[in-house]
């Protein structure tokens, strides 16, 4: 007989009573993200049947072509959190400006979200995800300066992601390790399925867009060559696994070991991934699971955003593989 873990709601209730860092309001917001994820999981499964595949003919604020599911996912997530009364503002990949939601004293959090990571996969039935994080506000009430309140990712109250694949899984951390919950569609609940995730120190995979290989630095190309050949970073040849969805690639590497690379190149000298709602939340999860995340030189969680859509290079995953890359970069190739 299968033994089920606790539901997301029960787990967070127990964690709130035992962890001062996890306020009741923050637990409520994580549950709300789970509720939004249930709605998105249903609509992603049905997208081909209800006309939600394809482009809308516009670009989002960072220049990516918007899919119909991008717009729908953003509407679902924003609407869910607007009604909580606990969120002062929302930063989303699909919103050009920070959206102020509430200036009430109870609205003590800022939500940063990529509602549909990897949306280019939707038309081919590939894996996609959602990335989210919550910052505690440094002040209550007045929202005049809310856009200046973002600190480094190390100050996050909680962060996580949802992966919509063969099953829907939600992984999050409130600073006390990383845990994963799988959606049981029959009962409509997220159930604890991956307790205390620990990223292996090295692994058999790497994730990178090799189409940009010739635009990378010599030291990075040399590192990737070593991964393929089985150099000191791994001791054996690594297999390429790159889905085009950060959530899916990092989830594999967290569970089985590996490294994800999205370096700068000639077209994106400051990187392409967004710091606030892609890199910092995933770095928070990686570190809570025993992994690492850098921009190639500095810890991602030490970076302070100067704008809500700021980009950064990203190197994330198994600790020893990151260490090996940094040693090679320090040698200059």
Read off the pLDDT of residues 122-141 as tens digits, 9 standing for 90 and up: 889 899 999 999 999 887 76
What the block records as the tokens of 263 is: 């370096």
Q: Is 70 a catalytic residue?
A: yes
Q: Is 189 a catalytic residue?
A: no
Residues forming a β-bridge with 312: 273
> Is 199 inside any structural domain?
no
Domain check: are 79 and 172 in the same one?
Answer: yes
The SS3 call for residue 57 is: strand
Determine contact, residues 67/120, Cβ cutoff 8 Å. Answer: yes
Q: What is the pLDDT of residue 332?
A: 66
Q: What is the CATH number of the domain that holds 166?
A: 3.30.540.10
Distances (CA, A) of 149 to 43, 109, 155, 161: 34, 10, 11, 23
Domain check: are 148 and 38 in the same one?
Answer: yes
Residue 1 pLDDT > 50: no
Domain check: are 90 and 154 in the same one?
Answer: yes
What percent of the chain is predicted at pLDDT more than 90? 71
Q: Is 225 a catalytic residue?
A: no
> Is 270 inside any structural domain?
yes
Q: Is 64 a catalytic residue?
A: yes
> Is 243 inside any structural domain?
yes
Determine contact, residues 66/55, Cβ cutoff 8 Å. Answer: yes
Annotated active-site residue in 64, 82, 256, 326: 64
> Is 45 inside any structural domain?
yes
Q: How many secondary structure helices (H) and strands (E) does the chain include?
A: 7, 17
pLDDT in tens, 97-112: 999 999 888 899 999 9
Annotated active-site residue in 23, 32, 93, 320: 93
How far apart, in whole angstroms, are the C-alpha atoms of residue 172 and residue 34? 10
DSSP code string of 143-196:
-TTGGG----GGGEEEEEEEEESSSEEEEEESSS--EEEEEETTTTEEEEEE-S
Annotated active-site residue in 23, 25, 32, 117: 117
Q: Is 117 a catalytic residue?
A: yes
**pLDDT classification of 3: cutoffs 50, 70, 90:** low
> Is 3 inside any structural domain?
no
Domain check: are 50 and 135 in the same one?
Answer: yes
Domain check: are 291 and 172 in the same one?
Answer: no
Domain check: are 183 and 215 in the same one?
Answer: no
Which of 166, 194, 222 is the endpoint of a domain? Answer: 194
User: How high is the mean pLDDT of the chain?
Assistant: 91
Domain check: are 145 and 271 in the same one?
Answer: no
Domain check: are 177 and 216 in the same one?
Answer: no
Domain check: are 114 and 215 in the same one?
Answer: no
Other CB atoms within a 10 A radius of the CB of residue 312 amount to: 24
Q: What is the CATH number of the domain that holds 246?
A: 3.40.190.80
The answer for residues whose C-beta is within 8 angstroms of residue 168's C-beta and 6 or more apart is: 37, 38, 41, 162, 182, 183, 185
Bridge pairing between strands 258-262 and 314-317: antiparallel
Which of 132, 166, 194 is the endpoint of a domain? Answer: 194
Domain check: are 182 and 214 in the same one?
Answer: no
Report, as an integer, the average pLDDT of 250-256.
Answer: 97
Q: What is the pLDDT of residue 74?
A: 96
Q: Is 142 a catalytic residue?
A: no
Domain check: are 188 and 248 in the same one?
Answer: no
The domain in which residue 61 lies consists of 8-194
Report, as an integer, the average pLDDT of 54-69.
Answer: 78
Annotated active-site residue in 25, 94, 189, 226: 94
Q: What is the pLDDT of residue 86?
A: 95
Q: What is the pLDDT of residue 11?
A: 92
Q: Is 93 a catalytic residue?
A: yes
User: How many separate domains does the chain show?
Assistant: 2
> Is 317 inside any structural domain?
yes
What strands lie across the sheet with 168-173, from one edge to the other? 99-100, 87-92, 109-117, 128-136, 156-164, 168-173, 179-184, 189-194
Query: How far is C-alpha 107 from the chain's CA centre?
Result: 23
Residue 308 pLDDT > 90: yes
Q: What is the pLDDT of residue 230?
A: 85
Annotated active-site residue in 25, 114, 189, 287: 114
Annotated active-site residue in 98, 116, 156, 276: 116
Domain check: are 96 and 236 in the same one?
Answer: no
Q: Is 58 a catalytic residue?
A: no
How far apart, in whole angstroms, are the C-alpha atoms of residue 11 and residue 20? 15
Annotated active-site residue in 23, 25, 32, 278: 278
Which of 146, 174, 194 is the endpoint of a domain? Answer: 194
50-64, 210-224, 238-252: lowest mean pLDDT where?
A: 50-64
pLDDT in tens, 182-231: 999 999 999 999 999 999 999 999 999 999 999 999 999 999 999 999 87
């Amino acid at each position: 007989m299968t033994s089920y873990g606790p539901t997301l709601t029960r787990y967070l209730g127990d964690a709130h009573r035992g962890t001062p860092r996890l306020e009741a309001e923050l637990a409520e917001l994580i549950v709300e993200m789970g509720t939004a994820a249930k709605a998105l999981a249903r609509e992603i499964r049905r997208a081909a049947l209800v006309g939600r595949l394809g482009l809308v003919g516009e670009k989002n604020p960072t220049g990516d072509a918007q899919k119909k599911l991008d717009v729908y996912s953003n509407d679902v997530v924003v609407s869910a959190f607007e009604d909580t009364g606990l969120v002062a503002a929302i930063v989303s990949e699909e919103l050009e400006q920070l959206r102020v939601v509430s200036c009430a004293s109870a609205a003590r959090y800022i939500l940063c979200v990529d509602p549909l990571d990897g949306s280019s996969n939707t038309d081919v039935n590939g894996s996609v995800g959602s990335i989210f994080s919550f910052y505690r506000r440094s002040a209550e009430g007045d929202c005049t300066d809310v856009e200046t309140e973002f600190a480094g990712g190390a100050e996050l109250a909680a962060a996580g992601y949802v992966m919509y694949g063969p099953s829907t899984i939600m992984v999050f951390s409130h600073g006390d390790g990383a845990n994963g919950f799988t959606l049981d569609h029959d009962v409509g609940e997220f159930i604890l399925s991956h307790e205390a995730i620990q990223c292996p120190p090295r692994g058999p995979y790497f994730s990178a867009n090799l189409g940009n290989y010739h635009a990378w630095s010599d030291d990075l190309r040399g590192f990737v060559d070593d991964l393929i050949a089985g150099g000191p970073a791994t001791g054996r040849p690594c297999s390429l696994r790159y889905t085009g969805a950060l959530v899916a690639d990092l989830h594999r590497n967290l569970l089985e070991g590996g490294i994800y690379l999205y370096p700068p190149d000639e077209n994106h000298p400051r990187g392409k991934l967004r710091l606030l709602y892609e890199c910092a939340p995933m770095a928070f999860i990686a570190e809570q699971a025993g992994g690492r995340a850098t921009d190639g030189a500095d810890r991602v969680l030490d970076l302070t955003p100067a704008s809500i859509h700021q980009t950064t290079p990203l190197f994330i995953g198994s600790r020893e593989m990151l260490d090996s890359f940094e040693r090679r970069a320090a040698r200059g190739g």
